[in-house]
Amino acid sequence: MQHRTSRRSLLTTTAALAAATALGSRLPASAAAPIAARRDTDRRLRAIVARMSVEEKIGQLFVMRIYGASATAPDQADIDANLREIGVRDAAELIATYHVGGIIYFSWAHNTRDPHQIADLSNGIQAAGLAQRVPLPLLIATDQEHGAVCRVGKPATLFPGAMAMGAGGSPEDARTLGRISGAELAAIGIRQDYSPDADVNINPANPVIGVRSFGADPSAVARMVAAEVRGYQESSVAATAKHFPGHGDTSVDSHTGIPVITHSREEWERLDAPPFRAAIAAGIDAIMTAHIQFPALDPSNDPATLSHPILTGILREQLGYDGVVITDSLGMKGVRDKYGDDRVPVLALGAGVDQLLDPPKLDVAFGGVRAAVASGELSEARLDASVLRILRLKERRGLFARPYVSARGVDRIVGTRAHLRAADGIAERTTTLLANAGGLLPLSRRRHERLLVVGADPDSPSGTTGPPTSVLAAALSELGFSTTALPTGTTPSPARIDAAVAACAGHDAVIVGTYDAGPGGAQSRLVTALGATGVPVVHLALRNPYDIAYLSGFGASLATHSWTDVELRAAARVLTGRSHPRGRLPVAVPRADDPTRDLYPIGHGLSY
């Protein structure tokens, strides 16, 4: 790989690390330490808080984006973006100016090009944190949910997403995912993952959660959430359950609007609360808020992120949670509609939040909190409480003792053969066979040697090397089939449909992938037209399993629950009988003609 974590870059941080040690930062792990040691740790952390200025305390509450692959020498385009959006040149200047307590990595911000580059960036960020007047390590975070939301791509190990894991139904597999993914994130310096998603997705029209949820059964979701939390935190990565108090029953995306959840308090207790209760019982380090209105829990119409009744009254007092509470991104419309960008962070802190994630204008948000402290609206003691929770989390995950990572650790841990084999095995156990008329599957080289792979080619998450049609065709070719790939897109034109129909000639079977097909759309017309050719048609639901309700003309149907490489390779093995389908639907698929009735219930899944 091109980027390596140099020994010299680690040695240059020795002085900063020594300064941190002088403050008592080499602390025992609180989970295993005796009571006296834990008390000593807390005294040391409180002493750090006491040394901090008000501005340093305010900064510790913010987790901010930054453009660039390097903490001190990003590309010019990234410098320009940083200056335009944040007013600083790079991560080091961000930390020196605002004393931020955390940084969030995004692939689109060029933070996650490859594991060694990420490790270098993480070390540079920690060096900048430890060079401050009060030296503090930073909590570096990302959204590594796997499946549809993934910021760190290959050669890191990529697993099936949450709904696929729900179809597998194995808490042990979920714990393995957390343990392996956590170990690889920790090896590149990422010590907080905004995962798992604890939402119970009971609304098939949900535009923002969907396959990011483990499913629609609260008890099953709770088991998977707890297992994944334990796996991540066994690898010293802070897990983050989201989106409290529950984002699963909405048809509005909180990135672009403010959803309203109409559940009663009793329905919340039965449907939404169990996964969060399970996460808390598993020792979850952090819980992320939702930008949703929930009138039964707070009739004020404030989003939950800004609701004292929800975050303090329910989460802290009723559920007994005293860990870190973090907002969802403060740049989302769901939290910005009612109040200005200077007031949102103040109201969030007043509601019970500790970490303020990625405000659109950091100077405005920072200034708003500073003014609230100066006016007495927020007390310095209120800041201290949140800073102490954040420092406890950093200590618990080993950041004071081990802020840096090494090239050797990257090579030894990230994307190992054992990890990749584990991901492949889990993916096979999640692939779900919905229909198999006439025993069309498994495909055999004797009857179906020549395969045509057509269908949707959605934007690729980090776990995908190309359009699903190409990835699947390549996987089938490796298994000895003669394959042709023909991407037709998510809205195929009549000309593309005609081309796909014409391409069926000379093929023994056609595999068609759909992505959020919906009723009466172009993807439905494509599948119907392919079925009319007389060539056997196998349907693949690349995202939501609900697609099958809107389709006709196929003989067999598989749900992969995502379109990343690991799931598509597993689908190829299941399609060809190299492995057997073992997944069971974690959500019900409603009928297209009567959504009150199920076409397939929770738990449906065939095998052969």
Q: What is the DSSP letter of 327?
A: P
Residue whose C-alpha is closest to residue 140's, from 355, 335, 346: 355
Stated length of the chain: 608
CA 272/CA 260 separation, integer angstroms = 14
Establish whether 255 is a catalytic residue: yes
Strand partners, 239: 193
User: Edge-to-edge, what's the strand order for the sheet holding 139-142?
Assistant: 324-326, 286-289, 238-244, 192-193, 139-142, 102-105, 62-64, 356-357
C-alpha dihedral sign at 460, 466, 467, 472: negative
CA 261/CA 292 separation, integer angstroms = 7
> From the candidates 255, 363, 424, 580, which is the catalytic residue?
255
CA 106/CA 111 separation, integer angstroms = 6
Compute φ and ψ for 485, nearest 5 degrees: -100, 135
Task: Write out the two tokens for 449.
Answer: 């040697």
Peptide bond into 255 cis (omega under 30): no
Q: Is 238 exposed, middle or buried (0-12, 13-18, 19+ CB in 10 A)?
A: buried
Compute the C-alpha angle 326/331/333, nearest 5°.
Answer: 110
Compute the C-alpha angle 113/60/44, nearest 5°.
Answer: 115
DSSP letters, 445-482, are TTT--EEEEEE--PPP-TT-SS-HHHHHHHHHHHTT-E
> From the candidates 328, 354, 508, 547, which is the catalytic residue?
328
What amino acid is encoded at 322 in this protein? D
DSSP letters, 576-596, are TTSS------SS-EE-SS-TT
Query: In Å, how far are 126, 186, 354 from 130, measured between CA atoms?
Result: 6, 18, 21
Peptide bond into 135 cis (omega under 30): no
Catalytic residues: 255, 328
